[in-house]
Amino acid sequence: MKKREFVRAWIRILLGFTPSLSIEITRECPLSCPGCYAYGDNHLGGQLLRQVRDHKGQDLVDGVLRLVKIHRPIHVSLVGGEPLVRFRELSILLPLLAKQGIHTQIVTSAVSPIPKEWRDIPRLSVVVSIDGLQPEHDAHRKPATYDRILKHIEGQPITVHCTITRQMTEREGYLREFVRLWSSKSQVVRIWMSLFSPQIGEKSDMILPPMIRQAVIDELSVLQGEFVKLELPKALLDAYRKPPKSPDQCTFARITRSITADLQTRILPCQFGGTPDCSQCGCAASAGLDAVARHVLPLGIRVGAIFEASSRVGRFVDLSRRACAHRSPYTAPVVTGDARNPPPRRARHILGSFM
Ligand code: SF4
Ligand code: SF4
C-alpha cells in the first residue's frame, strides 16, 4: 500500500466509511469448481448465491455506482459468480470507476474473452484465478481451461492468482513449475499465491495440514526470491504463518465491506461468508493487509493501532451521521440494508483535499 493510499484509507475510516468494497457482481457462473466458497451452503448465512436476485444492464451499473457513492471506497473488488458474465455492464462501469480515482480489481476465471478496451482503463487490474498446472486446473475449472485462458488474456496485462491446495503439494517442485510457467508469460504482471482457506469444521482434501502449510510457506519464501513476478513479501508470508485469530482481529475484514449480487446483503464476517476458520486463513488480500497493520512506524506505533483507534472514531462519526439523518429533513433517507448517508457537509469540506 502506497503512502498516499494509506492516508486516503485512514481518512475514510475516520469518516466512518469502508475504504474497500468487494461486490459479487453476479450470481451466475458457468463453472462449478470444487471448494468454491461463493456457492457454499453457508456463504450467505442460509440463502444461496444462486437464489439471490441479481441485477443486469443499466440497473447493475447504477446499483454499483450507488454503493460507491454511499461507501466511498478507494478500492473496489468485483468478484462473482463470474464477472465476465456481465462484461457489457463492466465495460460501462469500469471507466466510470477509474474516473473517480478508484482502483478496481476484477477476479475472473477468464472463461470468456477479456474485452480488448479494458487494457486502456487506468487503475484496473484483472486477476485470473488459475488452480495449479494444466491437468489439475483443466479438471477443476473446465470450461475455463488453460487453452482458453491463454486465448482470452491475449494482450491484456493480468495478475495470476493461485490458491494452493493439498493436491499441489504432493509432487515436489510443483509450485516452482507453476511459478516458472506463468512468470514466462509476457501478459502476466504479477503472481499471487493464496492458501486454501476452509470453514470451521470443514473436511476437505484441499486443506493444507499444519506441517504441510508451514513447508509451503517456506517454499514460497524461497521462490519469491527467485521469481520477480511472484509478489509475496516477507511480511505477507509472516501473516500466513500467524493469521488473525478471529474476524475481529482481521484488518481485511474490518476495512472491507463485502456485498452480494442483490447489491444489498452483506457477506459476513468477510468475503468468505459463513464461519471461516481464521486460524487456517490463507487469503492473500487478508495477509497483505495484515502485513500493513503489523508494520511499526518510526514513532513505534503499529499501523494497525492507528486503524483501530480511527475505526472507533469512524463508528462515532457514522452514528452521528445516522442520528443527523433521522433529525434533518434535508438529508437523504437511510437506504435499506447497510447503506448509509454521506458524511456531514462540513466534514467533507475539511477533509475533501485528502480524498
Ligand atoms: S469460477 Fe469462481 S465463482 Fe465460479 S465456481 Fe469457480 S470459484 Fe466459484
Ligand atoms: S479474511 Fe481470513 S482472517 Fe480475515 S476474517 Fe476472513 S477468514 Fe478470518
* Mutate-to-test residue for ligand 1 from 25, 29, 54, 77, highest number of ligand atoms within 8 A of CB: 29
Q: What is the band of 18 on the pLDDT scale with cuts at 50, 70, 90?
A: confident
Closest ligand 1 atom number to CA of residue 140: 6
The residue nearest atom 3 of ligand 2, judged by CA position, is 278
Q: Is the CB of 131 under 6 A from ligand 1?
A: no
- Structural domain of 252: 18-298
Q: Ligand 1 center to residue 113 CA distance, Å?
A: 16
Ligand 1 near 31 CB (within 6 A)? yes
Ligand lying nearest the CA atom of residue 84: 1
Q: Is 80 in the pocket of ligand 1 (CB under 6 A)?
A: yes
Number of Cβ within 10 Å of residue 99's Cβ equals 11
Asked if the structure places residue 10 within a domain, the reply is: no
pLDDT band at residue 36 under the 50/70/90 scheme: very high
Residue having the nearest C-alpha atom to atom 1 of ligand 2: 286
Whole-number Å distance, alpha carbon 305 to ligand 2 midpoint, is 18
Question: Do the beta carbons of residue 292 and residue 251 sit within 8 Å?
Answer: yes
- Ligand 2: atom nearest CA of 277 is 7
Nearest CA to ligand 2 atom 7: 278
331: in domain: no
pLDDT at 195: 98
| Ligand 1 binding pocket includes 38 (Cβ within 6 Å) | yes
Mutation to probe ligand 1, out of 82, 131, 136, 145 (largest number of atoms < 8 A from CB):
82
Residue 94 lies in a domain: yes
Number of structural domains in the chain: 1
Lowest mean pLDDT among 131-135, 174-178, 318-322: 318-322
Sign of CA dihedral 302, 306, 309, 312: negative
Which pLDDT band, with edges at 50, 70 and 90, does 348 fall under?
very low
Q: Is residue 203 assigned to a domain? A: yes
Average the pLDDT over 205-223 and give the result: 98
The model's pLDDT over 255-286, given as tens digits with 9 standing for 90+, comes to: 899 999 999 999 999 999 999 999 999 999 99
Q: How far is the CA of 71 from the centre of ligand 2 (A)?
A: 21
Asked if the structure places residue 148 within a domain, the reply is yes
Mean pLDDT for 27-34 is 94
Q: What is the average pLDDT across 89-112?
A: 97
Query: 42-92, pLDDT tens digit by residue?
Result: 999 989 999 999 999 999 999 999 999 999 999 999 998 999 999 999 999
Which ligand 1 atom is nearest residue 109's CA?
A: 1
Judged by DSSP in three states, 24 sits in: strand
Report the mean per-residue pLDDT for the chain: 87
Q: For ligand 1, atom 8, which residue shows the shortest CA distance? A: 36
**Residue with CA at minimum distance from ligand 2 atom 6:** 270
pLDDT band at 349; cut points 50, 70, 90:
very low
Residue 127 near ligand 1, beta carbon < 6 Å: no
Question: Ligand 2 center to residue 354 CA distance, Å?
Answer: 29
Q: What is the pLDDT of residue 294?
A: 74
pLDDT at 43 (0 to 100): 96
Q: Is the pTM of this model over 0.75?
A: yes
CATH, residue 294: 3.20.20.70
Is the confidence at residue 343, as pLDDT, over 50?
Answer: no
Pairing of strands 124-129, 103-108: parallel
- Cα atoms in the 13 Å half-sphere on the side-chain side of 12: 24
Give which of 269, 255, 351 is closest to 304, Cα–Cα: 255
Domain membership of residue 343 (yes or no) is no
Ligand sitting nearest the alpha carbon of 199: 2
Residue 271: per-residue pLDDT: 96
User: Measured in angstroms, how far is the CA atom of residue 199 from the centroid of ligand 1?
Assistant: 17
Sheet strand arrangement including 75-79: 188-195, 158-164, 124-129, 103-108, 75-79, 20-24, 256-259
Q: Is residue 348 part of a domain?
A: no
Start-end of H helices in 265-344: 284-294, 303-327
In a domain, 63, yes or no: yes
Q: What is the pLDDT of residue 13?
A: 66
Max mean pLDDT range (231-240, 284-293, 320-329): 231-240
- Name the grid cell of 12: 475514510
